[in-house]
Amino acid sequence: MTEHTDFTAETVADWLRENPDLLCQYPDLIDTLELPAPSQAVSLIQHKLLRLRKDNEHLAEKLHQLTAIAAENERLMQRLHQITLEAMSAQTDQAFVDCLLTRMADNFKADQIRLHLAAQENLLSEQTNVINHQPDVPEWLDELIAKQQTYCGRLTRRKLSLLFPDAEPAVGSCALVPIAGNGLLAVGASREDHFHPGMGTVFLELVGNTIAWRLKLAEWDDRKRA
């Protein structure tokens, strides 16, 4: 600081940050300082220890949260691995669809699940809860499929009725997972906040990749029968 500097609380604080040994040079200043809460602090050292303890508690809480998230991600990955194994080993299209619907309902707490296809009709589209939209694919549905981005949140009643026909209970929120340009997986929940825009979609997208591969297998089988 120079003699022409205007002294403010900010400039003094900046100077102290650059000269942290001030109280070592002038220890008598400690007697004139007013310390903030916590009130039980009777010295600067104790006050600093209390602040460090509070920071450590905050870091411990953050670590606990991150550990919980990591544990949940590990459980989801194990469930995804199980879904993949069972789906890919299903001997028939119906067994594949049944496995997919059951596992998705259990692992993602979903109330309604539908597989929507926009590609050429095949034997898979004859299964229950599989809906084929060819040749009349709604424009908004076609745009969702083309974007190849998973959507989580709420939709209008008209769109929900198309995605989940005759759904009981009614769907309040949903996740829509595009499947390699062939369609999308619609996962619905009765709670309006169950699927929301801020949630992660990595695991849903991995399930979408599994379905896309199975669709290719179904397509190859159809060609063999032709």
Domain coverage including residue 120: 91-225
Q: Where are the alpha helices (DSSP H) in the chain?
A: 9-18, 22-25, 44-89, 93-107, 139-147, 157-163, 202-225
Tell me the C-alpha distance between 109 and 199, whole Å. Answer: 14
Q: Do the domain assignments include residue 85?
A: no
Q: Do the domain assignments include residue 211?
A: yes
Q: Do the domain assignments include residue 46?
A: no
Question: Where residue 106 sits, what CATH number does that domain have?
Answer: 3.30.450.40
Q: Do the domain assignments include residue 132?
A: yes
Q: Do the domain assignments include residue 44?
A: no
Q: Do the domain assignments include residue 150?
A: yes
The number of folded domains in the chain is 1
Whether 172 and 162 have beta carbons less than 8 Å apart is answered as no
pTM over 0.85: no
Q: Do the domain assignments include residue 115?
A: yes
Tell me the C-alpha distance between 114 and 82, whole Å. Answer: 20
> Within the chain, which residues score under 50 in pLDDT?
1, 41
So what's the pLDDT on residue 1?
Answer: 47
Q: Among 187, 184, 182, which Cα is nearest to 122's? A: 182
How would you classify the pairing of strands 130-132 and 112-117? Answer: parallel
So what's the pLDDT on residue 3?
Answer: 55
